Amino acid sequence: MAARFLVTYHVRAGAETIAARARAIAVEQSVEMPIEAIEAPEVLRDIVGQVADIADLGAGAFAVRIALATATIGDDGAQLLNMLFGNTSLHDDVVLADVEIPSALAATFGGPRHGIGRLRRRVAAPNRAMTCVALKPQGLSPHRLAALAARFAAGGVDFIKDDHGLANQGYSPFADRVRACAAAVRGQPTRYVPSLSGNLDAMRAQIALAREEGIDTVLIAPLLAGFSTMQALVAGFPDIAFLAHPSFGGASRIAPELLIGTLFRLLGADAVIFPTHGGRFGYTPETCRRIAEAARLNRVDMRRALPVPAGGMTLARVPEILDFYGPDTMLLIGGSLLMARERLTEETAAFTNRVATHQYR
Amino acid sequence: MAARFLVTYHVRAGAETIAARARAIAVEQSVEMPIEAIEAPEVLRDIVGQVADIADLGAGAFAVRIALATATIGDDGAQLLNMLFGNTSLHDDVVLADVEIPSALAATFGGPRHGIGRLRRRVAAPNRAMTCVALKPQGLSPHRLAALAARFAAGGVDFIKDDHGLANQGYSPFADRVRACAAAVRGQPTRYVPSLSGNLDAMRAQIALAREEGIDTVLIAPLLAGFSTMQALVAGFPDIAFLAHPSFGGASRIAPELLIGTLFRLLGADAVIFPTHGGRFGYTPETCRRIAEAARLNRVDMRRALPVPAGGMTLARVPEILDFYGPDTMLLIGGSLLMARERLTEETAAFTNRVATHQYR
């Protein structure tokens, strides 16, 4: 009996068509051909997806659970996505809603190499929520970004991440930016987190350069880099912690809690950024709660990943956000802190102080 | 004056909110921070996205054109996607509809290295539409896949591609499969097209192995591999033609004609597979026509890419599909040919013969 794991799709269909639609998805995400044309009995038995059950969600939607063969994934991150949602992503009646990650896949991909516990140790924050800010806007020179970093660090923030738009552009080459920003925070507990870009070779060189500058945490957008690229980096640089950015996450077709909370974690993200409710993105509080729950879910086979709510957060919202997510969280305030301009250090200090002294309800 | 290029988003909004929403997208896809907090005048002038115009499409939808700074892309494929649709993909009121690719970006990425003309020369088909079939199901051994390939080749097909689900699984490792399938078609005009998987290192090794076996065309899914991965391969293997697969294309959020017709081509895809109308996917005839038009659009700065309609095509539909797409096309029939079982060679010959002798209306 071949090992299988359960994948849940939410499908818009009529009651009279859902059974056939479910079988079609099971075929599309496995052998992708008419099963009556399959001659090999072992393929029919061990490879073809099987409809496990169908639940009526009401309002013309159904939850279809399909058992996919673990062997079709092999050990490759991109192939995982391919088997979960490759061709079916082209059908607009389907959302990829959930995956029950079996221990075999957890062992293959490994999950966070550092996770919440080791991130806490890095910044000497054993209990409180952690803090993060973003270096922006793109277009500034390395020198000016480093000056911003110094002022953020003086405000006592834990992590300063590059804006995910900072790549290797002419106006701010990666090497110059990283050297300048690393120097700006050196000797302080604050971590500067550069954003990786380009292909696997380029990202390896970027991490190597960053490591020489004493950096131990980097930012990566798994959907831009490719899951296999991230997988190779996580395996190749076990001393480096990875902060995952949701850019290009196209949230409406893969449930955000699955993509960001479960799959990014499975790939090895130690911390996962996502747009929190009430900001400039449309995730509901319930979606955000589920992202955090998926990232932090206790499993014996994988470390927990740190949820990093972001996306239009302000200082005024810190208490509410902390009460919502609890202390195993890192708050990321991006652009709104920069509104303080010459008072940037003071505003950053107000942010870090508010997080450190928060009394949970 | 910094170089800019126009990106079109289709946005659901009210007439009273669309102007603000358009400005928000322009900011999100460039500096991602409040512009009143930007101190550097050169960033405001050269980097911040600008709303070029807004057109009412009716029914609560608007076409918003935004001029993005070309400098923010640099020379990286993933960064192109990041700037086009990174964070905005997380907003479900927006579809990325169109990009006017400037010659600067065409020169940076290079487009198809072979294109329609050189693909025709490979298979000695100067005028007629070309033909393609798929090796499947996954789960078969290399030996059995090779036996299928031999029968397809005997039917005179131009290209035999791996099913995109074939990766490097235990039951059919890439190296064994490629050696067996290459041997099965050797000495015939038919091209075997193996599917690449894994990270950049793995794909390079796969191409090198394939090349040793005399293979000159490979299959890649750009959204699974990552745009930067594909970009590196296209640049690194100029003798190899790349057939792009739409897996994980999540079509509802990026217009298919843009993603498959324009962006895959820009990255260097010589031929682009897409699900044609009337099959088991939901693209309309108009969408399919636009994909083919974008792939074949005459440009002085880029070769034309070959459209490859697929996705539930049958022998019976060949005349209709040929009349629809014309001869600068490759028809891909996957599973339905395999229904012929022991008559596979004869059915393949009927397919290739029908394509070769078709009288266009």
Query: Does A282 sit within 8 Å of B91, measured CB to CB?
Result: yes
Q: Is the separation of the CB atoms in B67 and B50 below 8 Å?
A: yes
The interaxial angle of helices B227-236 and B77-85, nearest 10 deg, is 150
What residues make up the domain containing B281? Answer: 115-357
Place of tokens 């490591």: A211
pLDDT at B22: 97
Mean pLDDT of A247-273: 87
A291 shares a domain with A157: yes
Query: Cα distance from A121 to chain B (closest Cα, Å)?
Result: 30
Which residue does chain B place closest to A341, by CA atoms?
B37
pLDDT at B251: 54
Instruction: Give pLDDT tens digits for A58-103.
Output: 999 999 999 999 999 999 999 999 999 999 998 889 999 999 989 9
Query: Does B43 sit within 8 Å of A92, measured CB to CB?
Result: no
B44 shares a domain with B189: no
At A241, is the secondary structure helix, strand, or coil?
Answer: strand
Q: What is the identity of the amino acid at A193?
A: V
pLDDT at B312: 79
What CA–CA distance (Å, rounded) separates A252 from A357?
37
CATH number reported for the structural domain that contains residue A246 in this entry: 3.20.20.110
Instruction: Give pLDDT tens digits for A305-330.
Output: 999 999 878 999 999 999 999 999 99
DSSP code for B303: P
The strand ranges marked E within A59-119 are 61-69, 94-99
Mutate to test the interface with B, among A223, A229, A248, A288 (most CBs of B within 10 A): A248
What CA–CA distance (Å, rounded) separates B211 from B218?
10
- Among B100, B130, B155, the domain-final residue is B100
pLDDT at B67: 97
- What letters, b where the CB count within 10 A reaches 16 and e where it falls short, cover B177-199? bbbbbbebbeeeebbbbbbbbbb
Residues in chain A within 8 Å Cβ distance of B280: 24, 28
What CA–CA distance (Å, rounded) separates B67 from B73?
13
Query: Does A90 sit within 8 Å of B246, measured CB to CB?
Result: yes
Long-range contacts, stretch B17-22, CB < 8 angstroms, 24+ apart: B18/B54, B18/B62, B18/B64, B19/B51, B19/B54, B21/B64, B21/B93, B22/B51, B22/B54, B22/B62, B22/B64, B22/B66
A330 shares a domain with A224: yes
Which residue does chain B place closest to A202, by CA atoms?
B228
B141 shares a domain with B59: no
Query: Does B229 sit within 8 Å of A275, measured CB to CB?
Result: no
What rounded mean pLDDT belongs to chain B?
Answer: 93
- Among A73, A100, A127, the domain-final residue is A100
Could you give the number of structural domains in chain B? 2
From residue A109, give the alpha-carbon distance in Å to each of A49, A102, B108: 22, 11, 34
A148 shares a domain with A286: yes
Q: Is the separation of the CB atoms in A263 and A291 below 8 Å?
A: no
Q: Is the pLDDT of residue B2 over 80?
A: no
What are φ and ψ of residue B116, in 5° steps? -60, -45
pLDDT at B255: 87
| Residue A7: both structure tokens together | 């994948």
Q: What is the identity of the amino acid at A232?
A: A
Mean pLDDT of A110-121: 93
B251 shares a domain with B171: yes
The interaxial angle of helices B142-154 and B344-357, nearest 10 deg, is 40
Confidence bin at A253 (pLDDT 50/70/90): confident
End-to-end distance of chain A based on CA atoms, in angstroms?
50
- Give a three-class secondary structure readout of B226-278: CHHHHHHHHHHCCCCEEEECCCCCCCCCECHHHHHHHHHHHHCCCEEEEECCC
Q: Which of B224, B335, B339 faces A78 most closely, judged by CB atoms?
A: B224
Does A296 reside within a domain? Answer: yes
Query: Does A71 sit within 8 Å of B168, measured CB to CB?
Result: no
B122 shares a domain with B91: no
B80 shares a domain with B125: no
Give CA torsion, residues B56, B61, B63, B68, to 10 deg.
Answer: 130
What CA–CA distance (Å, rounded) separates A88 from A93?
9
Query: Does B32 sit within 8 Å of A165, measured CB to CB?
Result: yes
Does A349 reside within a domain? Answer: yes
Q: What is the identity of the amino acid at A360?
A: Y
Confidence bin at A334 (pLDDT 50/70/90): confident
Percent of chain B residues past pLDDT 90, beyond the cut: 87
Size of chain B, expressed as the number of residues it contains: 361
pTM over 0.90: yes
B205 shares a domain with B90: no
| Residue A137: both structure tokens together | 């806007």
Mean pLDDT of B78-91: 92
DSSP code for A302: B
DSSP string, B309-324: EESS--GGGHHHHHHH
Mean pLDDT of A187-215: 97
